[in-house]
Structure 1
Protein backbone atom coordinates (compact mmCIF):
# COMPACT_ATOMS: atom_id res chain seq x y z
CA UNK A 1 0.00 0.00 0.00
CA UNK A 2 2.80 2.43 0.78
CA UNK A 3 4.30 2.04 -2.69
CA UNK A 4 0.93 2.74 -4.31
CA UNK A 5 0.46 5.84 -2.18
CA UNK A 6 3.89 7.15 -3.13
CA UNK A 7 3.21 6.56 -6.83
CA UNK A 8 -0.08 8.44 -6.55
CA UNK A 9 1.66 11.34 -4.82
CA UNK A 10 4.37 11.52 -7.48
CA UNK A 11 1.80 11.41 -10.29
CA UNK A 12 -0.19 14.19 -8.65
CA UNK A 13 2.92 16.33 -8.23
CA UNK A 14 3.90 15.84 -11.87
CA UNK A 15 0.38 16.73 -12.99
CA UNK A 16 0.38 19.95 -10.96
CA UNK A 17 3.85 20.84 -12.24
CA UNK A 18 2.67 20.37 -15.82
CA UNK A 19 -0.37 22.54 -15.11
CA UNK A 20 1.78 25.31 -13.66
CA UNK A 21 4.09 25.11 -16.69
CA UNK A 22 1.12 25.38 -19.05
CA UNK A 23 -0.23 28.40 -17.15
CA UNK A 24 3.19 30.06 -17.27
CA UNK A 25 3.49 29.43 -21.01
CA UNK A 26 0.01 30.86 -21.61
CA UNK A 27 0.68 34.03 -19.63
CA UNK A 28 4.07 34.46 -21.32
CA UNK A 29 2.41 34.21 -24.74
CA UNK A 30 -0.17 36.80 -23.73
CA UNK A 31 2.55 39.13 -22.45
CA UNK A 32 4.62 38.94 -25.63
CA UNK A 33 1.62 39.32 -27.96
CA UNK A 34 0.07 42.34 -26.26
CA UNK A 35 1.85 45.73 -26.40
CA UNK A 36 3.57 46.82 -23.21
CA UNK A 37 1.54 49.30 -21.18
CA UNK A 38 4.44 50.68 -19.19
Structure 2
Protein backbone atom coordinates (compact mmCIF):
# COMPACT_ATOMS: atom_id res chain seq x y z
CA UNK A 1 0.00 0.00 0.00
CA UNK A 2 1.31 3.43 -0.85
CA UNK A 3 0.18 6.73 0.56
CA UNK A 4 0.48 9.08 -2.40
CA UNK A 5 -3.13 10.16 -2.12
CA UNK A 6 -5.00 12.84 -0.18
CA UNK A 7 -8.52 14.24 -0.35
CA UNK A 8 -9.05 17.56 -2.16
CA UNK A 9 -9.86 19.15 1.21
CA UNK A 10 -6.17 18.82 2.14
CA UNK A 11 -5.47 21.91 0.02
CA UNK A 12 -6.98 24.07 2.78
CA UNK A 13 -4.33 22.83 5.22
CA UNK A 14 -1.53 23.38 2.74
CA UNK A 15 -2.74 26.93 2.12
CA UNK A 16 -3.15 27.59 5.85
CA UNK A 17 0.43 26.43 6.41
CA UNK A 18 1.60 29.21 4.09
CA UNK A 19 2.41 27.27 0.94
CA UNK A 20 1.42 28.99 -2.29
CA UNK A 21 3.27 26.71 -4.72
CA UNK A 22 3.40 22.92 -4.82
CA UNK A 23 4.99 20.54 -7.29
CA UNK A 24 4.27 16.95 -8.23
CA UNK A 25 7.21 15.13 -9.77
CA UNK A 26 7.47 11.39 -9.25
CA UNK A 27 6.91 8.07 -10.96
CA UNK A 28 3.64 7.22 -9.18
CA UNK A 29 1.16 8.97 -11.51
CA UNK A 30 -0.48 5.67 -12.52
CA UNK A 31 -0.60 4.07 -9.05
CA UNK A 32 -4.33 4.87 -9.03
CA UNK A 33 -4.71 4.17 -12.75
CA UNK A 34 -5.96 6.65 -15.34
CA UNK A 35 -8.77 7.88 -13.07
CA UNK A 36 -6.22 8.97 -10.48
CA UNK A 37 -4.10 10.65 -13.14
CA UNK A 38 -7.11 12.61 -14.41
CA UNK A 39 -8.01 13.72 -10.87
CA UNK A 40 -4.43 14.87 -10.35
CA UNK A 41 -4.41 16.98 -13.49
Higher helix proportion (structure 1 or 2): 1
Ranked by relative contact order (alpha carbons within 8 Å, sequence separation 6 or more), the top structure is 2
- TM-score, normalized by the shorter chain, greater than 0.5: no
Which TM class, normalised by the smaller chain length? under 0.3
